[in-house]
Chains A and B, each alone.
Chain A
Amino acid sequence: MTVQSEIENKLLDAFSPSFLEVLNESHMHNVPKGSESHFKVILISDEFDGKMLVARHKLVYKVLAEELANGVHALALHTHTVAEYETKHGTVPDSPLCLGGNKLGTGR
């Protein structure tokens, strides 16, 4: 199974999301072709209701701890409740391009 589908399955199990999108953005970074190192996650779930952003992201990090410890270097997170997502007209910002710091140490 690809890392991408592992991430999707774990998030589906943990958050019963109304909407989930996991994008492999590794091609935007200085890594070999076909890498699974940089991901963007858009996760819409009412499990986040009443939780601060920092707490929401920590929940996701906990579910994906194994992936983050084994090769997943960056995880852009957009965590909303259904109501919040609707107010935002369903738009999330693009992730930034790499500036090369990845080569300089074990990355996360």
Chain B
Amino acid sequence: MDVLDRIKEQVEANPVVIYMKGTPQFPMCGFSSRAAEALAATGVEFGFINIIQDPEIFENLPRFADWPTFPQLYIGGELVGGCDITMELAQSGELKTMMEAAVAKAGPAAGS
């Protein structure tokens, strides 16, 4: 499968997914770490993709949504932004609302 199709499938299959360096437990970048912490703090389930383990995605994700840096957060199949936007949404409380809405829309079977 073409890498861009693979990314499309991932962001559509997961109501909330973050592309990050490392994992939420063992982040390899301060920006990825901070964004993943904000997601975890909402208590809503989310998926993650460790781009260090997947060089093809690392190389091609920037052209998928025309966004040059990592991490990248997708909610409901749409790019929400990187670390700074995730933090702003977390502080205003919108992040949790957006995540809950996407999970509810996807139905009980998705995202697990």
The chain A residues found within 8 Å of chain B, CB to CB, are 53-54, 57-58, 61, 65, 68-69, 74-78, 93, 95-102, 104-105, 108
Contact = CB atoms under 8 A, between A and B. Distances in A.
B79 to A, nearest CB: 6
A108 B55 contact: no
Contact of A99 (B29, B66, B68, B88): B29
B84 interface: yes
A80 B62 CA distance: 24
Interface SS of A by simple majority? mixed
A54 B68 contact: no
The 6 closest A-B pairs by CB, nearest first: A96-B30, A101-B28, A101-B21, A101-B29, A53-B85, A68-B68
22 contacts: A53-B85, A54-B80, A57-B81, A57-B82, A58-B67, A61-B68, A65-B68, A69-B68, A76-B84, A77-B84, A78-B84, A96-B30, A96-B34, A98-B29, A99-B28, A99-B30, A99-B32, A100-B29, A101-B22, A105-B55, A105-B58, A108-B69
Nearest to B80: A54
A74 B30 CA distance: 11
B46 interface: no
B48 interface: no
A92 to B, nearest CB: 9
B27 interface: yes
Contacts of B14: none
Given A68-B68, A101-B21, A108-B69, A53 B81 contact: yes
